[in-house]
Every structure is written in C-alpha cells, then in structure tokens.
C-alpha cells in the first residue's frame, strides 16, 4: 500500500470527530506490521481516526505473530472464520490509502521475479478500503490495536494482474460500515463487491517495491520491463 495523504486531510475527508494518532511518515511502500491510519467508531459513538498496525491480532490470540497470516480477510468467509466472525458484527473500520500494489505471476518457465503493478484513482483522491480491527493485550496488559483489509473478487481492471482486490467503499457506504451494529442478513454480500470499472488506474512499476526496505515516490513511477511482450504485459488501465 501507499500512504501519502496527511492525517488532517483524511480527518476532513472521512468527517472524523476525534483524532487520536501520531503523524505517520509518508510512505510509498507500507508493509505488514507497520502502522496505518484507520477510522472506526469509538465506544462513545464518535468517529475516531487512529494509527493501527496492519496485520490483525485477534483478542484471543496466544501469539501476536498470527498477524502475518491476517493482513487480509476474504469477504466470502468473514462470517465463518473465528478471527473475523465477531469483528464483522461490531468492529468494522475504514482504511484510507493512496494506492496499492499487486503482483502478476510470470509465464511458465520464467526466471524473473513477479511483476508489480500499482493501482490508484486517476486523480489524487484516496481509496477507502473496508477493514476490521481488534485490540489484543500482552502479558503486561498493554494493548495492541491492529487491523486487516477485506478483499473480494477482482474487477476487469484488476483481473489481468490478480484474481483478488481490496474492497473499496464509496462515501455513501461509510456511515453504514462504521455503525457498530450487526448488518442485516445479506448486506455484507451487497457491500463487499469489486470496485466499479473506471475507478482505478493501473500500470507496472519497478521491482524495487519488492523490498520493504525501499521507499520513495520513485516506486510508483510507471516502468515497462525491457523485452516485455504485449500479450503478457497489459497496457496501463485508466
């Protein structure tokens, strides 16, 4: 993911009542276990912006290292998996990002690394993902607040690169998603759908993004690998 929108801008966009988060550094390569801005409803009913660690640690987990397996949550199984079942009822969240990466597999026999693609809006507006959050306490009763991003099947823009994509919520659904009450039966399936066509722009980027040690605006510059065949490398979408 990329996160380049200032905290105050996100607070205005998402109509936040309270901000309880430090100023996170701008990042063009946010990795799991790093903090991201998240908006959720507090116990008092206020819409609060916080910095949560990406990678869910359920409140019942024995080991926080489980987070590495829970950076994403499949929309189709939210109500079945123990890690997400209770959270989808009352701990839903918005995860605003500037864009995200996905990797396209290589043809059979290829030796080169998988090719990363960058997805964002055609303009500079953030994307708002559907997410879940939880709080876990260690042996000394110190809280660790974490989150996960919900994914669904890919739309036509995404399909040439990957079969899954994050759920992007429209502004008209933010209030409903943040309401800390269970959704009516069937509503999850109506909300957690692929993004509309035309919402995202995509293009291949350089392999530097494959390392979490690399960060900077050059990571999101379009890059067409030398010798790439048109039948395998799709033209930029959007």
For the entire predicted model, the pTM comes to 0.92
Number of continuous H segments (helices) and E segments (strands) in the chain: 5, 11
- How far is 45 from 27, CA to CA, in rounded Å? 30
Q: Is 45 exposed, middle or buried (0-12, 13-18, 19+ CB in 10 A)?
A: exposed
95-115 CB burial, b ≥16 within 10 A, e <16: bbbbbbbbeeeeeeeeeeeeb
**Domains located in the chain, CATH noted:** 7-100+122-195 (3.90.1680.10)
Q: What is the pLDDT of residue 226?
A: 64
pLDDT tens-place string over residues 121-173: 998 899 999 999 999 999 999 999 999 999 999 999 999 999 999 999 999 99
pLDDT of 56-101, one tens digit each?
999 999 999 999 999 999 999 998 888 898 999 999 999 999 999 9
């Amino acid at each position: 993911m990329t996160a380049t929108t200032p905290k105050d801008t996100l607070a205005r966009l998402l109509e936040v009542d309270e901000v309880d988060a430090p100023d996170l550094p701008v990042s063009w390569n946010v990795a799991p276990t790093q903090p991201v801005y998240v908006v959720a409803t507090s116990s008092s009913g206020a819409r609060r912006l916080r910095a949560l660690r990406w990678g869910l640690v359920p409140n019942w987990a024995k080991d926080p290292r489980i987070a590495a397996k829970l950076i994403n949550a499949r929309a189709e199984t939210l109500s079945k998996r123990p890690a997400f079942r209770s959270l989808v009822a009352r701990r839903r969240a918005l995860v605003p990002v500037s864009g995200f990466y996905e990797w396209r597999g290589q043809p059979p026999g290829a030796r080169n690394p998988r090719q990363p693609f960058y997805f964002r809006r055609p303009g500079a507006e953030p994307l708002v993902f559907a997410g879940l959050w939880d709080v876990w306490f260690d042996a000394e009763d110190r809280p660790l607040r974490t989150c996960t991003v919900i994914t669904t099947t890919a739309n036509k823009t995404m399909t040439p690169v990957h079969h899954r994509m994050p759920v992007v919520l429209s502004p008209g659904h933010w209030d409903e998603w943040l309401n800390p009450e269970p959704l009516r039966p069937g509503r999850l399936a109506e909300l957690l759908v692929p993004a509309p066509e035309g919402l995202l722009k995509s293009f291949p980027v350089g392999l530097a993004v494959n390392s979490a040690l690399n960060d900077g605006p050059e990571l999101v510059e379009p890059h067409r690998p030398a010798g790439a065949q048109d039948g395998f490398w799709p033209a930029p979408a959007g």
